[in-house]
Amino acid sequence: MSSGRAPGGLERDLLRERARSEIREAIALGELKPGDQIVEATMAARIGVSRSPVREALRELEQHGLVESVPNRGTFVATLAAEDVEEIVLLRGALEGLAARLAADRMGRRDLRALEETVERMSRHTGPGAQEESAFTEADGEFHSVLVRVAGHRRLLRLWSELDPFIWLMTVNEMGANGERDRDAMAREHRELLDTLASGNPEEAQRAVWEHIVRRQPQLPSQWPPNGVALAGGARPVQ
């Protein structure tokens, strides 16, 4: 007696997951921007599936807050309110801070070189214009992705990967509100982060990454450890 899923049900699950991954990736890469409409038929043709798995994937993504369904209008990439940004920044700071702490203890020459290359790419794309901004943002994202992977913590990587599209949405919101960023200063800051990681001090690495991520959110504590930040269930950070 078989205890597995029926072949049709398994195929349906795989198609839904494929559609979900493709849509998330399109948002994370900036191909779909905040407020963009996601047309089921167009997305289905792009992915190479029927509309049904796309519809199911969009329902899942709506539950996670990545897209919004508007009655009689359709489904749109979410835009972020101030409280959304605060939650994302706080969670990102905690995850990447922990990743930096773990990575500082285990980072090898190849890992440092991978981070070095992303910083060099950032430094090459500090000029004006949309293409420079796009190339810089891609290198910036790669720096943080490499950092989390180097930490060697599978569950942390999974949690961070779920957050990644929201990080991009937040970046777009920030650019829309403030115009072009000071990319020279940002490249220098990532160079300083790399130097801190290379020093092999886990506590300093965690502090530096936390402060790097939360520095533009005045309502959050800019120094590590973040005294007074309430965690899930009303707990406080362990001192």
pLDDT tens column, 25-37: 888 777 888 899 9
Map tokens 């930490």 to a residue.
151
**Which ranges in the chain are annotated with CATH 1.10.10.10?**
9-77
Q: Under 8 Å CB-to-CB from 128, ≥6 apart: which residues?
A: 180
- Beta strands per DSSP E along the chain: 37-38, 67-70, 74-77
**pLDDT digits over 32-61, tens only?**
888 999 999 999 999 999 999 999 999 999
What pLDDT score was predicted for residue 16?
A: 92
**What predicted TM-score, i.e. pTM, was given to this entire model?**
0.73
Pick the CATH number of 82-230 from 1.10.287.180, 1.20.120.530, 3.10.580.10, 1.10.357.10: 1.20.120.530
Fold of 9-77: Arc Repressor Mutant, subunit A (1.10.10)
Residues of the chain with pLDDT under 70: 1-8, 173-180, 216, 218-239
pLDDT at residue 197, rounded to an integer = 96
